[in-house]
Amino acid sequence: MDAIVLLRDDHKTVEKLFKQFEKTGDEDTDERRRIADRVVEELTVHAWIEEQIFYPAAREAAPDTTDHILESIEEHHAVVWMLSEIKGMDAADERFKAKMSVLMENVRHHVEEEEKEWFPDVRKAMGRNRLTELGEQLEAEKPKAPRDPLVVPSADSR
């Protein structure tokens, strides 16, 4: 599978989870916890494979995207921080829904920038064969990627 298609599929999966979360009522704390746990796992894996495999390859193939990639790494850092807080929070906590809302806003902004502003440049620079090869690498790395945001090293420590 093409790397950009795979990453967009991840984005769609998370957006579906966000919509499910937004439909829950304040009394649905068990459902909110279940959805939040899936969001934590999905986004942790996604950030990991992007930073370990996709971003370095994109930066090499399309050097003009470097600023976007560096900004994306910083956005990931903020998201992973929020994920680690959400993971440890009680879903009945009065701040839980607010924290999830801020997470959703940040992720939606990040996704929009990636998909509209720099994925097209990366696609053009890499071409179909390289993106397919990269997609295979991303898929192979997913099972090995951390699922716990508390074990994801920050960009500063890499």
Q: How much of the chain is in helix, strand and coil states, percent to nearest 5?
A: 85, 0, 15
Mean pLDDT, the chain, rounded, equals 94
pLDDT band at 24 (very low <50, low <70, confident <90, very high): very high
Return phi, psi of residue 90, to 5°. Answer: -75, 130
Alpha carbon separation from 103 to 21, 43, 75, 84 (Å, rounded) = 12, 11, 11, 11
Residue 155 is predicted with a pLDDT of 47
Q: Which tokens sit at 17?
A: 């989870």
Q: What are phi and psi of 81, to 5 degrees?
A: -60, -50
Segment 6-17 shows an average pLDDT of: 98
- In sequence order, the 6+-apart residues with CB closer than 8 A to the CB of 105 are none
Among candidate residues 70, 94, 93, 96, the one with its CA nearest the CA of residue 83: 96
pLDDT of residue 150: 83
pLDDT tens per residue, range 93-105: 999 999 999 999 9
How much is the average pLDDT of 47-65?
95
- What would the two tokens of residue 39 be? 């969001």
Return the CA Rg of the chain: 16
- What is the model's pLDDT at position 153? 61
pLDDT band of residue 67 (cuts 50, 70, 90) is very high
